[in-house]
Amino acid sequence: MRSEKPRVFVCRQLPQEIIDRLNEHFNVDLWESDMPPDRNSLVEHISKADGIFSLLTERIDNEVIEQGHSLKVISNMAVGTDNIDLASATKRGIPVGNTPGVLTETTADFAFSLLLASARRIVDADNYVRAGHWKTWGPSILLGRDLHGATLGIIGFGAIGQAVAKRASGFDMKILYCKRTPIESPEGINATRATTDQILMQSDFVSLHVPLTTETRHFIGARELSLMKDSSILINTARGPVVDQKALVEALRSGRPAKAALDVTSVEPIDMNDELLSLPNVIIAPHIASASVATRLKMANMAVDNLLAGLSGERLINCANPEVYDQ
Ligand code: DGY
């Protein structure tokens, strides 16, 4: 009977097959808009829910969690959980699910797309053609940078960082990486461990793959940017606040690094008056690194799986605060 099913607040319209799956198991309270619920609505709906299907746009902080009087599971359709106060969820015994693994290759594809697009000036080239500037083939029109033979520095060498390295190997790039805990370079990838400063100083491309935590907020600031080569390109598909965006604007203005290619910004969506948008040497995408049809479906299904497990009293398949089970 519908009323006996656990009540789940679903924060956004989702593909019909996901909604069908949710309806099969839960009493679904669907936020039908394409925009996220405002804070008051979020609190109101959470206060009646046993579970929540959230996206990275929902800020689920302590105040919100406290209103979840019967909340038993938070299932985030993202690998990152920086939008959720994990400590507060843990304190209240609420497991938080996320979606690692399924988006690794798709995100790495996109990081590499940004790398290629900025190195080979794809956006400039498209604008050039559309503006009617293509009058002839010219020896110095729209010259870009080679990937082969260049050095790619990867900051954060987890699954996505390693997947980017795999792609860079195929492009004959030299790869440097840094990771807090040393790991063997994965099979088939010739990558050298280095310090963050060495990576910044020696790389032609620097790609960021660290999660956003209190330690990584503004990990790349004015000092770090000043270490980069004046020809280098910074790629960020991690989280916007990993980079101090004000410092990045200044750095790009001064030409060191030469360019940035960003899928994430410190505030999302970016304010249309943000100075970053006035710079010609940056390309910006609207946080779409995992946005392939297949991957988004896998992420949504994984988030449903986590809800199913959590609301049947089982351990979440992917849990971002496993310590919740130790208490
Ligand atoms: C994540 O999952 O954390 C990405 O940023 C969105 O797919």
**Structure confidence by residue, pLDDT tens digits, 250-292:** 999 999 999 999 999 999 999 999 999 999 999 999 999 999 9
Q: What is the pLDDT of residues 11-49, one digit of tens each?
A: 999 999 999 999 999 999 999 999 999 999 999 999 999
Return the amino acid letter for 62. Answer: N
Residue-level pLDDT at 3: 56
Does residue 78's CB lie within 6 angstroms of at least one atom of ligand 1?
A: yes
Q: Identify the residue whose C-alpha is closest to ligand 1 atom 7.
A: 290
- Residue 1 clears pLDDT 70, i.e. is over it: no
10 Å CB burial of residue 203 (0-12, 13-18, 19+) is buried
Q: Do the bridges between strand 282-284 and strand 259-262 make them parallel or antiparallel, or are there none, so unpaired? A: parallel
Residue nearest to atom 1 of ligand 1 (CA): 78
Atom 6 of ligand 1: nearest residue by CA position:
78
pLDDT tier for residue 4 given thresholds of 50, 70 and 90: confident
CA of 263 to the centre of ligand 1 (A): 11
In short, whether 98's Cβ falls inside 6 Å of ligand 1 is no
Contact yes or no for 260/252 (Cβ under 8 A): yes
SS in 3 state form for the chain?
A: CHHHCCEEEECCCCCHHHHHHHHHHCEEEECCCCCCCCHHHHHHHHCCCCEEEECCCCCECHHHHHCCCCCCEEEECCCCCCCECHHHHHHCCCCEECCCCCCHHHHHHHHHHHHHHHHCCHHHHHHHHHCCCCCCCCCCCCCCCCCCCCEEEEECCCHHHHHHHHHHHHCCCEEEEECCCCCCCCCCCCEEECCHHHHHHHCCEEEECCCCCCCCCCCECHHHHHHCCCCCEEEECCCHHHECHHHHHHHHHHCCCCEEEECCCCCCCCCCCCHHHHCCCEEECCCCCCCCHHHHHHHHHHHHHHHHHHHCCCCCCCECCHHHHHC
Q: Ligand 1: distance of its center to the CA of 38 in Å?
A: 20
Six-digit token string for 205: 């491309």
Residue 327 pLDDT: 85
Q: Is 79 in the pocket of ligand 1 (CB under 6 A)?
A: yes
**Ligand 1 atom index nearest CA of 98:** 2
Q: Could you identify the atom of ligand 1 that is nearest to the CA of residue 237?
A: 5
Confidence at 192, pLDDT banded by 50, 70, 90: very high
pTM above 0.75, yes or no: yes
Q: How far is the CA of 34 from the centre of ligand 1 (A)?
A: 17
Nearest protein Cα to ligand 1, atom 3:
80
Residue numbers annotated as active site: 239, 268, 287
* Residue owning the nearest CA to atom 2 of ligand 1: 78
Closest atom of ligand 1 relative to the 99 alpha carbon: 2
Structure tokens at 149: 């033979």
How much distance in Å is there from the Cα of 3 to the middle of ligand 1?
33
Query: How many angstroms separate the alpha carbon of residue 78 from the centre of ligand 1?
Result: 4
Beta strands at 205-208 and 96-97: parallel, antiparallel or unpaired = unpaired
Judge whether 307 and 53 are in contact, CB under 8 Å.
yes
Q: For the residues 121-137, what does the mean pLDDT come to?
A: 98
Ligand 1 centroid distance, CA of 42 (Å):
20
In this predicted model, what pLDDT tens digit does every residue of 46-81 receive, in sequence order? 999 999 999 999 999 999 999 999 999 999 999 999
Whole-number Å distance between alpha carbons of 156 and 159: 9
* pLDDT in the model for residue 182: 76
80 lines ligand 1 (CB under 6 A): yes
Q: Which residue has the CA at smallest separation from atom 4 of ligand 1? A: 78
Question: 57, 58, 79, 109: which to mutate for ligand 1, most atoms within 8 A of CB?
Answer: 79
CB crowding 188-198: b at 16 or more within 10 Å, else e = ebebeebebee
Identify the residue whose tokens are 């779409």: 288
Atom of ligand 1 nearest to the CA of 290: 7
- 89 CA distance to ligand 1 centroid (A)? 20
